[in-house]
Amino acid sequence: MIDETREDRLIDTFATLADTLVAGYDVVDLLQTLVESCASLFDIAAAGILLADEDGELEVVASTSEASRLVEVMQLSAQAGPCVECFSTGSVVSLPDVEDSPPAWQRFRDSAREQGFAAVHAIPLRLRETTIGTLNLLSNIPGALRTQDVRAAQALADVATIGILQERTVRESNSVREQLTLALNSRVVIEQAKGVLAHTRGVSMEEAFALIRNHARSNRVMLSEVAQGLVDQTLVI
Amino acid sequence: MPERFAVAEEELTALAGNESRLYEPFLGVLPVDGLSISTFGDFLQAETISASNAQAFRLDELQFDLGEGPCWDALESGVPVLEPNIRERPNRVWPAFSEAIIADDLGALFAFPLSLGPLRIGAIDLYTSRPSQLSDLNIRRTSDLATIVSRLVLSRAIRLSQSDSEGEADTRKQFSHREVHQATGMVLSQLGISALDARLVIQGHAFAVGRSMQEISEEIIDRRLSFAVKENRIEGSHD
C-alpha cells in the first residue's frame, strides 16, 4: 500500500515537473520544487542540487533548507566528499554511512556528523558525456538507497538537467556553459533579495526565502522576478 | 544640457583603469578653468588621482599639506563647498589655506565630496581664475558625476591594494560565499543603492579595516555592523 501511495506521488511529481517545463518556468524555482519533491518521496532528511560554475567548481543552487549548516555540508562535500566524487566520475556515489568516509573526506565527515547526517547519496546531473552538477540526498539514518529509489532519483536528476538546459533555448541559443551561469546568477540575486528582506523585515535568511517563495506563488510570478524586484527596490513585500 | 552630462557620465565610466584622465569629461560640461580629483580621509592615503593642470594640482597639494581647505570641509560635511569669490569675498576663512592662496590667480573654488554610502573617499576641487557662480543645475549634475568618480576611485584603490592573483580569485569566487550576496542585499537596502555599489561598500569597508569581505559580510548578517543611513550625512550628499 505504502508503495502504491509513493508511486502516486512519484507520478504526481513528474506530472508537475512536466507541466512546469511546458508552461515556462523559473529555473531556481523548478530546482527548488525538485529538491522538495525528493525530500518527500525518499526516506531522507534533506536534499540539494549543486551546479558547476565556469571553473568546474560546484555551488549550491537549491536546497530543502536555507540553513547555512546544510549548505556548508554540501559545499564541503563538493570540495572533498561524495558530491565531487559523483561529479568527477559521472556515476552515483552512495555513502551509506558517513563514518566510513576515507581520510581525505574528514572535513566533510565532521560537518555531516555535527549536523546529524548519517548517509549521503549523490546522483549526477548528466548531459551525454558531461556532468553539469549533482543531486544530493542526505539521510539521518545510515543505510543504502533501494534500487528503485536510485532509479527514481536519477530520473528526477535528469529532469533537473533538462530544466536547466532548456530554460532559455526557446528564446536564445546559449551554450551549456552560459545556461549554467544564468542559473547560478539567478541564485546570486535570490541571496541578495534575502538580504534585502532580512533588513527591511528584520527576519532570518531562512524566513526571508520563505517570504520570497510565498510571494512568488501567491502572485503567480517567477521566483527570480520577485528577487530582482526586491534587489532593484521596485518591489516591497 | 542634460544630454551633455549623460555623455560625460558615459565618458567617466569608460575611463575605468585610466583614472588619471578622470578630469577630462568635466572640462567639457562645466564652466571651470581646471579641476583635480583626490583621495584622502578615513582610510585612503592623500593622493591626487587626476589633475587638469598645475594650478589644480597645487590647490590639492596645499590642502593636503595644510590639513585644511574646501576639500576637507566638503568631505567632512558631505555637501559641496561653494566659494564663488574665494579671495575677495570668502564665505569662510581657513587660517593657513586662505593665506596661502592670496597670490594665486584664483576666483572661484568649488569642492565636491567623494563618498559611497558611509565610506568617505576624497573630493573634487574645481576652480575658475575669475569669480564665478555654479548654477543649481550644474551643482546637481556635478554631484551625480561625483558619485561615478567615487566608484571608480574606490575601485582603483582596492585594485591597487590587491596582487593580481588575489583579484582574479575574487572574481572567480563570485558564486561562492552566499553570505557576501546576502550582506550585499542588506547593505543595498540600508543605503538605498544598487547591488553593485553595495558590494563595493562592503569591499571598501573590508579594505579600510584590513579584513576579508567574508568576515565583514558575516558581521552585517549577524547585525553587528550596519551601514544604515545616518541623518544629515548621506542625506546631504544628494540633491
Chain-centre distance of CA B11, in angstroms?
17
Name the phi and psi angles at B38, rounded to 5. Answer: -140, 155
pLDDT of residue A86: 95
Residues of chain B contacting A59 with CB distance shorter than 8 Å: 175-176
Name which of A191-195, B96-100, B123-127, B172-176 the model is least confident about.
Answer: B172-176
The residue range of the domain holding B103 is 2-158
pLDDT > 60? residue B131: yes
Quick one: average pLDDT of A132-153?
92
Which of chain A's residues have a Cβ under 8 Å away from the Cβ of B195? 192, 231
Confidence of residue B229 (pLDDT cuts 50, 70, 90): low
Mutation to test the B interface, candidates A55, A192, A205, A206, most B Cβ within 10 Å: A192
Could you give the count of Cα atoms lying within 13 Å of B34 in the half-sphere of its Cβ? 17
Q: Do A60 and B186 touch (CB under 8 A)?
A: no
pLDDT at B18 over 70: yes
- Say how many domains are in chain B: 2
Share of chain B above pLDDT 90, in %: 76
What's the mean pLDDT in A70-98? 90
Whether B38 and B131 share a structural domain: yes
Best of A61, A199, A226 to mutate (most B CBs within 10 Å, chain B): A199
A198 vs B176, B178, B186: nearest CB: B186
Question: pLDDT at residue A99 above 50?
Answer: yes
* C-alpha closest to that of B105 among B23, B24, B33: B33
Shortest CA gap A118–chain B (Å): 25
Type and span of the H or E element at A140? none
Angle at B230 between CA B227 and CA B233, to 5 degrees: 110
Query: pLDDT confidence of B176, banded at 50, 70, 90?
Result: low
Asked if residue A172 has pLDDT above 70, the reply is no
- Report the residue from B178, B179, B188 with minimal CB separation from A231: B188
> Within this chain, do residues B127 and B189 fall inside the same structural domain, yes or no?
no
pLDDT of residue B236: 29
Complex prediction ipTM:
0.72
Which chain A residues in 132-151 lie under 8 Å from chain B, judged by CB atoms? none
B182·A71 Cβ contact <8 A: no
**Nearest-CA neighbor of A51 among A180, A188, A139?**
A180
- Determine whether the interchain pair B190/A199 forms a contact, defined as Cβ–Cβ distance below 8 Å: yes
Confidence grade of residue A198 (pLDDT, cut at 50, 70, 90): very high
pLDDT value of residue B169? 46
| Set of cell numbers at residue A211 | 517570504
Provide the pLDDT confidence category of residue B223 given band limits of 50, 70 and 90: very high
Rounded CA-CA distance B138/B104 in Å is 25
Q: Which residue has the cell 520544487?
A: A33
Same domain, B105 and B86: yes
**B222 and B186, same structural domain?**
yes
Distance from CA of A12 to the nearest CA of B (A): 32
Same domain, B46 and B127: yes
Q: What is the pLDDT of residue B1?
A: 53
Task: Scan residues 186-225 of A and list those with Cβ closer than 8 Å to B.
Answer: 187-188, 191-200, 205
Backbone angles phi, psi at B124, to 5 degrees: -110, 130
Q: Does the beta carbon of A127 lie under 8 angstroms from any beta carbon of chain B?
A: no
CATH code (residue B108): 3.30.450.40
| Per-residue confidence (pLDDT) for residue B160, from 0 to 100 | 85
A195 and B184 within 8 Å at the Cβ level: the answer is yes
Residue B2's pLDDT band (cuts 50, 70, 90): low
Q: State the CB neighbour count (10 A cutoff) for residue B84.
A: 16
Q: Quick check: A63 and A50 in contact, CB under 8 A?
A: no
pLDDT at B233: 47
Residues A43-72: pLDDT tens digits? 899 999 999 887 888 888 999 987 767 888
Please state, rounded to an integer, the average pLDDT across all residues of chain B. Answer: 88
Task: Centre a 10 Å sphere on the Cβ of residue B181 and count the other Cβ atoms it contains.
Answer: 24
**CA distances, A177 to each of A52, A59, A181, B56 (Å):** 9, 14, 6, 49
Does position A201 have pLDDT exceeding 70, yes or no?
Answer: yes
> Is the pLDDT confidence value at B170 over 60?
no
Which chain B residues are Cβ-neighbours of A60 within 8 angstroms? 178
Return the pLDDT at B234.
42
Single residue among B127, B158, B189 that ends a domain in this structure: B158
Helix intervals (H) in chain A: 2-23, 27-41, 68-79, 82-89, 106-114, 147-166, 176-200, 205-218, 223-231
Contact A130, A176 (CB under 8 A): yes
Average pLDDT over residues B160-182: 62
Same domain, yes or no: B76 and B146: yes
| Averaged pLDDT for residues B15-28 | 94
pLDDT of residue B238: 29
Residue A232 burial by Cβ neighbours in a 10 Å radius (0-12, 13-18, 19+): middle
B90 in helix, strand or coil?
coil
Tell me how far apart the terminal alpha carbons of chain B are, to the nearest angstrom: 17
What is the predicted pLDDT for the residue at B168?
A: 44
Same domain, B81 and B116: yes
Answer yes or no: do B124 and B217 share one domain.
Answer: no
Smallest Cα distance from A107 to chain B, Å: 18
Last residue of a domain, one of B113, B135, B158: B158
Please tell me if residue A233 touches chain B, with a CB cutoff of 8 Å. Answer: yes
Return the higher-pLDDT residue of B177 and B14.
B14
Residues B141, B170, single domain; the answer is no
Q: Tell whether B139 and B21 lie within a shared domain.
A: yes
**Residue A143, phi-psi category: left (phi > 0), alpha (psi -120 to 50), beta (remainder):** left
Q: What tens digit of pLDDT does each residue of B61-76 get?
A: 999 999 999 999 999 9
Please check whether residues B207 and B123 belong to one and the same domain: no
What is the pLDDT of chain A when averaged over all its residues?
88
Confidence of residue A104 (pLDDT cuts 50, 70, 90): very high
- Residue from A6, A136, A127, A148 nearest A60 by CA: A136
Q: Which domains does chain A have, with CATH numbers?
A: 2-173 (3.30.450.40), 185-231 (1.10.10.10)
